[in-house]
Amino acid sequence: MSKLPSTRSETTFVDAKRGYSPLQALTEAHRCLYCVDAPCVQACPTAIEIPEFIRKIATGNLRGSARTIFAANIFGMSCARVCPVEVLCVGSCVFNEMDAPPIEIGKLQRFATDAAFERGDRFFAAGPASGKRVALLGGGPASIAAAHELRRRGHACTIFEQGQLLGGLSTTGVAPYKMRADRATEEVDWVLGIGGVEVRLGVSVGRDISVQDLLQSYDAIFVGLGLGADRLLQLPGADLQGVRGAVDWIAAFKTGTISLQGVKSAVVIGGGNTAVDAVRELHGLGVPEVTMAYRGDETRMSGYEHEWRVAKVAGVRGLWNVQPLAYEGDGGRVGAVRFAKLDDQRQPIAGREPVVAADLVLLAIGQGRLGALLGDIEGISLDRGRLLVDAEGRTQNPKIFAGGDCANGGKEVVNAVAEGKRAAIAIDRDLCGGEAS
């Protein structure tokens, strides 16, 4: 049973991409060329055997297809919905070079994995108990994927999560027109159905339990703490009501109910994917005027172009080459943002200070980093708050591994899953004296 209220604001959204009917899936699967050394596989961070799972759909082996996907990526169901396939597998499909539509890999993956999930299929069992214990810090996709892999190899796992929900940003961040929070938590329950993973919710590592204590009690530690809170700008008016971080606001409307009564215009500051999600969400929730304000021009924004295009078509306005100077308002509430117009060198142009009406201002200029939490642990090195690890997720401390956003600086769910799994295999190898079990 989901812990999420059924009345939460995100439920007003419907899937932006509809699923396939059996006939559509079959037709699309038969278009695939089943390439050798397929570029789509190389583009997938979890290296799913894409031609293999598509061929299994084409031959009516739906369960086998799902198994192929989950064997590589245990979050295959949500990744089918949330992966930026346009720049990964679908973007690499050979059909792009042939002036023909690429194979809809995400939709086919969703067709196979949804069917398995709805049937309650299980593919993997826990391995024989190894007697080793691993602590996983954070309950996002990186830690959960790592825990699943460790359980397959027989190691006992404990996840420490500061919040009351598992799934990290997959639950609280992903746009609801891609996947709602309840689907994310159901998937987590399904993954942890492998059994033997102790989950300790409401435990903040660093505050309620120290990494030093965990090092004493566990054979290895996987750090999957993600990024920190939204970065904010200390500008005049920063304490006005209605000025807040975008990730915090997104989590609030995905997991609960928010009121946008009286919000006629909203401004999102930033040009990345969180900013683009936020403007689409504000528009979808009925805010009449939504503006995305970015310090570069449209060609320089880091948000995916295909996502921004949808926002633009919906009527979201882009305000380019601007930098916020102050939030303005009356009676303690924000009412506008004053910007400086920037020139090509990103320098303010004297006398050009556009003011944009805003009853709500969301800051989407990045999230903070781990910083102090692990900085003083022996063998841990940080680069601007990002944990430094090798290709297998090892830090210089032989007992500590890491993966996901806290180590890669903030990528996608599929990267977190790949890195969590890779680190789990390395942990297993170390715990078993050099032989992966």
- The binding site for ligand SF4 (CB under 6 A) comprises 32-35, 38-40, 50-51, 93-95, 103, 105
List 69, 240, 413, 431, residue binding ligand FAD (CB under 6 A): 413
Question: C-alpha angle with apex 198: 432 to 375, nearest 5 degrees?
Answer: 70
> Do residues 216 and 174 lie in contact, with contact meaning Cβ atoms separated by under 8 Å?
no
Q: Which does 154 bind (CB under 5 to 8 A by kind): ligand FAD, ligand SF4, none?
A: none
Specify the residue, 82 or 340, whose C-beta has the smaller distance to ligand FAD: 82
Q: Which does 50 bind (CB under 5 to 8 A by kind): ligand SF4, ligand FAD, none?
A: ligand SF4
**Helices 141-152 and 181-192: angle between axes, nearest 10 degrees:** 20
Site string for ligand FAD, 4-43 (x = CB under 6 A): ----------------------------------------
Give the neighbor-by-neighbor strand order of the sheet with 355-357: 322-330, 333-341, 355-357
Residue 250 as a binder of ligand FAD (CB under 6 A): the answer is yes
Number of H helices, E strands in the chain: 17, 15
Minimum CB distance to ligand FAD, residue 335 (Å): 26
- Among 241, 244, 264, 265, which Cα is nearest to 253's? 244
Q: Which does 38 bind (CB under 5 to 8 A by kind): ligand FAD, ligand SF4, none?
A: ligand SF4
SS3 for 93?
A: coil
Specify the residue, 46 or 265, whose C-beta has the smaller distance to ligand FAD: 46
**Helices 305-314 and 273-284: angle between axes, nearest 10 degrees:** 30
Minimum CB distance to ligand SF4, residue 95 (Å): 6
Give the type of residue at 248. D
Q: Which does 76 bind (CB under 5 to 8 A by kind): ligand SF4, ligand FAD, none?
A: none
Minimum CB distance to ligand SF4, residue 183 (Å): 25
Specify the residue, 57 or 334, whose C-beta has the smaller distance to ligand SF4: 57
Contacts of 304 (CB under 8 A, 6+ apart): 84, 86, 87, 273, 276
SS3 for 4?
A: coil
DSSP 171: H
Alpha-carbon distance of 243 to 338, in angstroms, equals 13
Q: In what helix (H) or strand (E) does residue 222 lie, and over which residues does it extend? A: strand 220-223
Q: Which does 229 bind (CB under 5 to 8 A by kind): ligand SF4, ligand FAD, none?
A: none
Identify residues 161-220 at the interface with ligand FAD (CB under 6 A). 161-163, 168-170, 173-175, 178, 204-206
Specify the residue, 105 or 276, whose C-beta has the smaller distance to ligand SF4: 105
**Interface residue list for ligand FAD (CB under 6 A):** 82-83, 137-143, 160-163, 168-170, 173-175, 178, 204-206, 224-226, 247, 250, 274, 277, 404-406, 411-414, 416
